[in-house]
Structure 1
């Protein structure tokens, strides 16, 4: 079955079909102009930190310069909505003090251009590009940065709240805390468990403070958070110890963020574990009122977290002892990630059960394959289309079984800077020729997605 053959007839006409991107990945590094430095510029300066050697002067895929073309591509694909993020250092170069009108003007052009094409803007305030000046004072581990983030959120609400309905405070706070401050794979490349725990706590506080600041100025908008949720699973023989580890992994990946951001409380087992392992106590009374930031739930899902029993007493997550990493099935993308389409349904139904009255959006789902134009000039990304077919079918099945699913955003619109991988990995449904003026070529998957959207509206 191809993507064009997916039966969408059970979905309401109001179902939103979209794509997404993030600011730093498509707008480029510090040399792209009219913005301050961010922690990813700093990481790009570190030899070997970016696998393909990309430096901080990379220009992303020149989205700022090619905005009109990118907007027209979105229109040609019949998108209902486009999910993008604001680069904090583009609109406020140092993360405090004066705002940059040129940066604000760019996002005004983007938002107005979307609305002119009848495409709903969906705005994320933070997708990992913290201003460098704020990292110098401790980054997200410092409560002062939460205060500054709330000021930034309020100003963005004042600038764009009249035209943007959907707001997300954060994209994948899990990555910010654990990949950025525990494993050091992402910026700011810190490897310190106590720091990571402090960051995890302050990010939840920032969601509460940021959503309050947005609503104080634009009470009519809808605010939520976007988290990369997963369904931890074991393959092969199980043990009680391995099952207990899965509960901890679920806490790291899912429960800390959903319970913290949507209920204003923390899982007691994680609070106890973090204090035992690091000496850092996360006081949930400091979270504050989260009621302004629970209008919708963004679920980013790519694959299950897959483990097998074992690990020689050292688990993959601090506090776990009996699991090691494993693959699943025969299908893996270029990142090595297994295909687990049933998992997205499992997660959507779980979130619906926990928060039955809050609309859910699949805010990211997609896959990574490096297909380029063939002799006919077309990009025959067959594996991507097969992946999307299976996952979208699973989303529809979840809706039919009661998931409160209101929309689906495919990741990503454009090939781009894939963080620590540089430009070596391609998630886009539009091919970008990095060697030839960033020329855009919609892949076959993009054309199939366009046809699916059009068919769903008939």
Structure 2
């Protein structure tokens, strides 16, 4: 069980669990169009065991029992994502009514159970038809995304507690267009530079579209890491600063201050879109809250390989999760305090935090992980960070992108053959802390 108690967080603090559409839904026969993850996962070598999200956790059909799990845990909220290709199979144009009906059922099911819906417009499943037109490399995506945002606001906005535009733009842009690890799998500096800007420009146009259509309580979800130097050597400290600029400050600075870090714009140079500076007022539209996803730290050193990446990372000596990420709760406290002091005074939410662990429902390390990170949230609040909520990643074991189904992050174990759900010890720990205290 946890050493923290709900009352430690004060009244009004939101506890929730998070998922993403492609990772859990399945249900691809209702008129949903193909996404970039369908083709990326179908390409040999991209995903472990050639796993795909075609069935995943079958949340499309089993959502009632999944919402019951959220309610029975005593959680206040469910952070989910809309699948863009389920609502707009071609990315633009004709609406798939079956997709609208699914999300109507899902949202109404949350409200019937007293669960607050926290929605995300984009969690990486870009419609393939838009990738054919350049995807995030094409400036026109800002208009396509705004139109999609307007549709969501019109159909569902009056029932949503909060709406985020983009989940983890670093992953959308850099991981997927420079490192090539996620769909669409580019390893191209020009592609990355354009995606890095367009994803934030589209965020801004979506904020405008959401507000124009009556949506409220709007934000974005950034994945942040605690960047540290591998040594005290000046060159490693410089590498840490560059790594921090690429991973953290590009997105924090763009969204919250309307400015990108100069060391990154100098590095990207002419690969950036022409006159991108003219878009920064849209990139930095005022927000109601900021979501932060946190998992680990990175240790940076100066490049050792001629012609290699601008920075290099080294493995640290802390205890690691099953996916190989260091367990570092202090990094969460440090980031929450840093953001609140250096970037914004709007409310902060920890929108994802969790760990991959080996299969099984007796997971003492995960219980300890959550307990220590909840303590880290309290520590940040004690230093003045206005943290209003915490969402565990994830409700269910699910499709972990390029890792396939091997890595399990769930509070609830999923048998992918039978789709049986079995709550783990970490689920019971949240239930013990939250039960009858909502």
Query: Normalising by structure 1, what TM-score?
Result: 0.92
Provide the rounded CA distance (Å) in 1 between the counterparts of 2:414 and 2:232. Answer: 44
In structure 2, the partner of 1:325 is: 314
* Paired residue secondary structure (1:96): coil
In structure 1, the partner of 2:420 is: 439
* Paired residue secondary structure (2:71): helix
Which one of the candidate residues 287, 290, 293 is aligned to 2:280?
Answer: 287
Provide the rounded CA distance (Å) in 1 between the counterparts of 2:430 and 2:275. Answer: 44
* Paired residue secondary structure (2:239): helix
Provide the rounded CA distance (Å) in 2 between the counterparts of 1:314 and 1:327. Answer: 24
**Cα distance, 1:9 vs structure 2:** 3.6
Provide the rounded CA distance (Å) in 1 between the counterparts of 2:237 and 2:62. Answer: 50
Which one of the candidate residues 265, 272, 277 is aligned to 1:271?
Answer: 265
Change in CA separation of 1:310 and 1:197 when aligned onto 2, cut-off 3 Å: closer
* Paired residue secondary structure (2:206): helix
Provide the rounded CA distance (Å) in 1 between the counterparts of 2:39 and 2:384. Answer: 45
Does 2:410 match 1:402? no
Which one of the candidate residues 343, 351, 356 is aligned to 1:363?
Answer: 351
Provide the rounded CA distance (Å) in 2 between the counterparts of 1:7 and 1:309. Answer: 43
Which one of the candidate residues 33, 50, 74 is aligned to 1:53?
Answer: 50
Measured against aligned partners, the alpha-carbon deviations of 1:99-156 in whole angstroms (never above 9, x if no partner) come to: 1111011111111111111111000000000000000111111011211110000110
In structure 2, the partner of 1:181 is: 177
Provide the rounded CA distance (Å) in 2 between the counterparts of 1:369 and 1:10. Answer: 27
User: In the comparison of the two structures, how many residue pairs are matched?
Assistant: 438
Q: Give unpaired runs (5+ residues) of structure 1.
A: 373-378
Q: Give unpaired runs (5+ residues) of structure 2.
A: none
Check conservation: 1:223, 1:292, Cα contact below 8 A.
no
Provide the rounded CA distance (Å) in 2 between the counterparts of 1:213 and 1:53. Answer: 38
Measured against aligned partners, the alpha-carbon deviations of 1:289-327 in whole angstroms (never above 9, x if no partner) come to: 356551100000000112345634566xx433xx44222
In structure 2, the partner of 1:13 is: 11
In structure 2, the partner of 1:376 is: none
Provide the rounded CA distance (Å) in 2 between the counterparts of 1:135 and 1:325. Answer: 33
**Cα distance, 1:48 vs structure 2:** 1.9
Provide the rounded CA distance (Å) in 1 between the counterparts of 2:117 and 2:276. Answer: 35
Provide the rounded CA distance (Å) in 1 between the counterparts of 2:302 and 2:315. Answer: 9
| Residues 64-213 of structure 1 mapped to structure 2, 5 A cutoff | 64-213=60-209
Provide the rounded CA distance (Å) in 2 between the counterparts of 1:392 and 1:13. Answer: 16
In structure 2, the partner of 1:375 is: none
Provide the rounded CA distance (Å) in 1 between the counterparts of 2:222 and 2:387. Answer: 15
* Paired residue secondary structure (1:112): helix
Provide the rounded CA distance (Å) in 2 between the counterparts of 1:416 and 1:309. Answer: 36
Provide the rounded CA distance (Å) in 1 between the counterparts of 2:59 and 2:313. Answer: 40
Which one of the candidate residues 232, 243, 247 is aligned to 2:241?
Answer: 247
Change in CA separation of 1:354 and 1:168 when aligned onto 2, cut-off 3 Å: same
Does 2:223 match 1:223? no
Check conservation: 1:369, 1:425, Cα contact below 8 A.
yes
**Cα distance, 1:251 vs structure 2:** 1.0
Measured against aligned partners, the alpha-carbon deviations of 1:321-378 in whole angstroms (never above 9, x if no partner) come to: xx4422232x111111111110000000001102442000000000001222xxxxxx
State the superposition RMSD in angstroms.
1.8
**Cα distance, 1:8 vs structure 2:** 4.3
* Paired residue secondary structure (1:154): helix
Provide the rounded CA distance (Å) in 1 between the counterparts of 2:105 and 2:6. Answer: 33
Change in CA separation of 1:63 and 1:194 when aligned onto 2, cut-off 3 Å: same
Check conservation: 1:367, 1:411, Cα contact below 8 A.
yes
Measured against aligned partners, the alpha-carbon deviations of 1:419-456 in whole angstroms (never above 9, x if no partner) come to: 01111111000000112x2000010100101111237x
* Paired residue secondary structure (2:421): strand
Check conservation: 1:238, 1:308, Cα contact below 8 A.
no
In structure 2, the partner of 1:299 is: 292
**Cα distance, 1:188 vs structure 2:** 0.5
In structure 2, the partner of 1:389 is: 371
In structure 2, the partner of 1:349 is: 337
